Chains A and B, each alone.
Chain A
Amino acid sequence: MGSVGAMEPFDPPGEPWVRVSPRLATVRRIGLLAFGVPAAALATAGMAFVALWAAVVVAVLGVGLLGWSWAVVGRTVRSWGYAERAEDLLVTSGVLRRQLVVVPYGRMQFVDVSAGPLDRRFGLATVQLHTAAAATDAAIPGLGPDEAARLRDRLAARGEASAAGI
């Protein structure tokens, strides 16, 4: 395939990735505490009625899973990145399973900006792009509300300028 340079497969195209806000890690950790810890505690308590050793196994597994999730949150958040090019948007993500998505502006059907209660408290929003293909998976979490709105409007404007049928 043409000239094969020494390029990492998930490298940005030219300019560096625009990274998302580190506050996203805080939001995700709070979510982990709010849902993961009670879930693990409930599972352990439930197992205690069955057998003590089963409760211990579940507790150890739960703590291990929570600790690992906690540790990996920072890396996951740092792995998100996007780049706006003249004709398309690139989004990269993932630590264990890495992904790179390229969406041409002309293929965009609509753009969503969404924010949950916790996201709003921390001033974060998610921008998601939709095309005529259901498989297109291009969401950018952890954007500031202004940046999210700006990105949405710019994507919509660029999409309109280069719109094509399907």
Chain B
Amino acid sequence: MQEGFRRLHPLTPVLRGWKFFAAAVALAVQQSFSDLGLGYVLLVIAASIPVGIAYGYVSWRTTHFRIGPEDLRLETGVLFKRSRRVRLDRLQAVDVVRPLVARALGLAELRLEVAGGSSSEAPLAYLSERAAHQLRAELLARAAGIEHDEESAPEAPERVLLTVPLSRLIEAQVRSSLFIGAVVVIAVIAVGSLLSGEFAPLGLAIPFALVVVPGLFQGIAGQFDFTVAESPDGLRLRRGLLETRAQTVPPGRVQAVRLVEPWLWRSRGWCRIEADVAGYVGEGQAQASVLLPVGPRADALRVLALVMPDADLSTINLAGVPPGARWLDPFQWRCLGAGMDDRIFVARRGRLRRETDIFPHEKLQSVRLSQGVLQRRLGLATLHLDTTPGPVLVSAAHRDEQEARHMLDAAVELARRARATVRPDRWMRPPAPPAAPTEAP
């Protein structure tokens, strides 16, 4: 091992090997239904234990990492070696994830999220909880551009902004279309079997419940004890009942935000916030993009003010679409709206499930104007503002074609101006003088 490199926690092979063992058991159980005998199955399970441990040990021996002033180096691989360098100024988010088994052993996984790639590109699994928090503080301090001499960076202070009470999470699930639909189906089955006097149909309710109940449980457990906090390192989110996740999203890393108001939440005035963060892509990352699972509009606006300090929704006048749009979207055309000021672009849609997209001009990747055959007849066009991959796709459908073109030209010009005054990637360093071109890596 080279100078300055560190290893993962020594219990890592046990945790990794456990997964290997579980896979072997699952495979063996599946096979045992075929013609193979019980002895053979037990042999496979027994053999998997030393193989799993050996592989886990070798894998642990060959994995090491080092944090430099500008980058993280990660060396992995048993047969095929891989050495990866992650630029810290391009860090999009740092997450500490603790699955249930890891929590029992006092371990945690540290995930560095960078743009591009299809999943978390530099996972450090597993570290002790203390080491994970220490490392997170150090990574964030270096990414922010703070110089410090000692080995340990101090944890940035944080101020809790809001928490989501369990009762609200439960009520939000009860007010979901999944729950209402499930209740209706079960009620129909129950009434049907009562009227007919046959109880066989009740058996149908069991597999149905097996699908719906885990969905509802995950909705609550995944967002359990949801906490939003503010720190100099940006937005801090914590959530989870069985598997917990603590996220840090530095300033300027949120690309676009969507406020979602499902119709069953409307009477409570609740909404959800989803966001595009360049690192949160791939499997299992959808939950990480939720900045607020459920909360009153006032809470949503506080979270919004944290991630986009310049955004002011109240002063933006959302213009509707021409009546011609009723031919293309008869049910919802009156709900379509779009508008902008010099900081953000806002688009609204949806009658039952209302969605409001908020998009800061400086994050614009490209703009598209498209017009289908029918739209051309009606003098309409759709404007798309492209952002990094994520749950939020910003578009303003069926605008008047002249207005859409003016919006396109305005968005391009405003994005150009906004990019010139954008905050630096290293958020604690004073911004570079405007005359300098780009910051050298």
What's the minimum C-beta distance from B90 to chain A, rounded to whole angstroms? 7
Contact A107–B364 (Cβ < 8 Å): yes
Contact A4–B408 (Cβ < 8 Å): no
**A116 part of interface (Cβ distance < 8 Å):** no
**B195 part of interface (Cβ distance < 8 Å):** no
**A163 part of interface (Cβ distance < 8 Å):** yes
Complex CA–CA separation, A7 to B369 (angstroms): 14
Stretch in A35-43, A53-61, A92-100, A141-149 with 4+ CB within 8 Å of B: A92-100
Contact B369–A100 (Cβ < 8 Å): yes
Contact B387–A96 (Cβ < 8 Å): no
What's the minimum C-beta distance from A112 to chain B, rounded to whole angstroms? 15
Q: Do A165 and B405 contact each other (CB < 8 Å), given the known contacts A97-B373, A99-B368, A136-B386?
A: no
Complex CA–CA separation, A161 to B419 (angstroms): 13
Interface residues as binary, A1-30 with B (CB distance below 8 Å gives 1, 0 otherwise): 110100101110100000000000000000
Contact B369–A137 (Cβ < 8 Å): no
Q: Which residues of B contact A13 (CB under 8 A)?
A: 409
Q: Which residues of A contact B404 (CB under 8 A)?
A: 9
Contact A2–B406 (Cβ < 8 Å): yes
**A34 part of interface (Cβ distance < 8 Å):** no
Q: Do A131 and B368 contact each other (CB < 8 Å), given the known contacts A164-B422, A166-B278?
A: no
Complex CA–CA separation, A107 to B407 (angstroms): 19
Closest to B395 in A: A135
Interface residues as binary, B98-131 with A (CB distance below 8 Å gives 1, 0 otherwise): 0000000000000000011000000000000000
> Which listed residue, B366, B381, B407, B416, touches A103 by the CB 8 Å rule?
B366
Closest to A3 in B: B406
**B287 part of interface (Cβ distance < 8 Å):** no
Contact B388–A133 (Cβ < 8 Å): yes
Q: Which residues of B contact A99 (CB under 8 A)?
A: 368-371
What's the minimum C-beta distance from B439 to chain A, rounded to whole angstroms? 9
Contact A132–B365 (Cβ < 8 Å): yes
Q: Do A9 and B371 contact each other (CB < 8 Å), given the known contacts A1-B407, A102-B408?
A: yes
What's the minimum C-beta distance from A158 to chain B, rounded to whole angstroms? 12
Contact A135–B386 (Cβ < 8 Å): yes
| Chain B residues within 8 Å of chain A by Cβ, number | 43
Complex CA–CA separation, A131 to B437 (angstroms): 20
Interface residues as binary, B4-19 with A (CB distance below 8 Å gives 1, 0 otherwise): 0000000000000000
**B311 part of interface (Cβ distance < 8 Å):** no
**B61 part of interface (Cβ distance < 8 Å):** no
**B267 part of interface (Cβ distance < 8 Å):** no
Contact A100–B365 (Cβ < 8 Å): no
Complex CA–CA separation, A99 to B403 (angstroms): 15
Contact B405–A7 (Cβ < 8 Å): yes
Contact A1–B367 (Cβ < 8 Å): no
Q: Which residues of B contact A11 (CB under 8 A)?
A: 405
Interface residues as binary, B357-384 with A (CB distance below 8 Å gives 1, 0 otherwise): 0000001111111111100100001001
Q: Do A131 and B386 contact each other (CB < 8 Å), given the known contacts A9-B401, A97-B371, A97-B372?
A: yes
Complex CA–CA separation, A104 to B385 (angstroms): 12
Chain A, 87-142, CB within 8 A of any chain B CB: 87-88, 96-104, 106-107, 131-138
**B28 part of interface (Cβ distance < 8 Å):** no
Interface residues on A, range: 20 to 34
Contact A102–B367 (Cβ < 8 Å): yes
What's the minimum C-beta distance from A31 to chain B, rounded to whole angstroms? 24
What's the minimum C-beta distance from A140 to chain B, rounded to whole angstroms? 14
What's the minimum C-beta distance from A101 to chain B, rounded to whole angstroms? 5
Q: Which residues of B contact A88 (CB under 8 A)?
A: 412, 416
**B389 part of interface (Cβ distance < 8 Å):** yes
**B393 part of interface (Cβ distance < 8 Å):** yes
Contact A133–B370 (Cβ < 8 Å): no
**B410 part of interface (Cβ distance < 8 Å):** yes
Q: Which residues of A contact B373 (CB under 8 A)?
A: 96-97
> Which listed residue, B89, B116, B408, B412, touches A104 by the CB 8 Å rule?
B412
Complex CA–CA separation, A105 to B425 (angstroms): 19
Q: Which residues of A contact B237 (CB under 8 A)?
A: none
Closest to A136 in B: B366
**B193 part of interface (Cβ distance < 8 Å):** no
Complex CA–CA separation, A9 to B381 (angstroms): 8
What's the minimum C-beta distance from B278 to chain A, rounded to whole angstroms? 6
What's the minimum C-beta distance from A9 to chain B, rounded to whole angstroms? 4
Interface residues as binary, A68-95 with B (CB distance below 8 Å gives 1, 0 otherwise): 0000000000000000000110000000
Contact B371–A10 (Cβ < 8 Å): yes
Contact A100–B278 (Cβ < 8 Å): no
Known: A97-B371, A107-B364. 11 other contacts (CB 8 A): A9-B402, A9-B405, A13-B409, A88-B412, A97-B373, A99-B370, A106-B419, A132-B115, A132-B388, A134-B389, A135-B366
Binding site for A on B (CB under 8 A): 89-90, 115-116, 255, 278, 363-373, 376, 381, 384, 386-389, 393, 401-410, 412, 415-416, 419, 422, 425, 437-438
26 A–B contacts from the bound complex (CB under 8 Å) = A4-B402, A4-B403, A4-B406, A10-B405, A87-B412, A88-B412, A88-B416, A98-B371, A98-B376, A101-B369, A102-B366, A102-B412, A104-B366, A104-B412, A104-B416, A104-B419, A106-B419, A107-B364, A133-B389, A135-B368, A136-B365, A136-B386, A163-B438, A165-B422, A166-B115, A166-B278
Which 9 pairs across A and B sit closest by C-beta, in order of nearness? A133-B365, A133-B386, A1-B406, A9-B401, A9-B405, A136-B366, A131-B365, A100-B369, A135-B386
